[in-house]
Amino acid sequence: MPLFAGAQTVTPQQRIDQRQVNQENRIQQGVQSGSLTQKEAANLEKGQTHVEKMENKALSDGKISQKEAQHINEAQNKQSRKIERQKHDQQHDYN
């Protein structure tokens, strides 16, 4: 049986939303493990909020264009790198 049998097309909005969820989970995991301080987590959350605002603006006309999706993807890539750096920067919060 083919692996993609009956697979549905994923929209840019669904891809963006899932990535936002994944990145939020990475931040929460970092807080829980102590690899992110509260201040680092707060700054990362601000970045996530910025990406969410970009998505909402792109959706204001009812559809995310290819160019808008690319721009949001670049912002999510930047945010992902920030999460990775902060989680591995040797600052810990072991409450």
* Digit-coded pLDDT (tens) for 13-53: 999 999 999 999 999 999 999 999 999 999 999 999 999 99
Q: What is the mean pLDDT of residues 57-67?
A: 95
Burial status of residue 13 (CB atoms within 10 A of its CB: 0-12, 13-18, 19 or more) = middle
User: How many C-beta neighbours within 10 Å does residue 58 have?
Assistant: 19
Computed over every residue of the chain, the mean pLDDT equals 91
CA gap 83, 67 in Å, rounded: 24
| Of the candidate ranges 1-5, 16-20, 60-64, 85-89, the one whose mean pLDDT is the lowest | 1-5
Q: What is the CA radius of gyration of the chain?
A: 16
CA gap 55, 59 in Å, rounded: 6
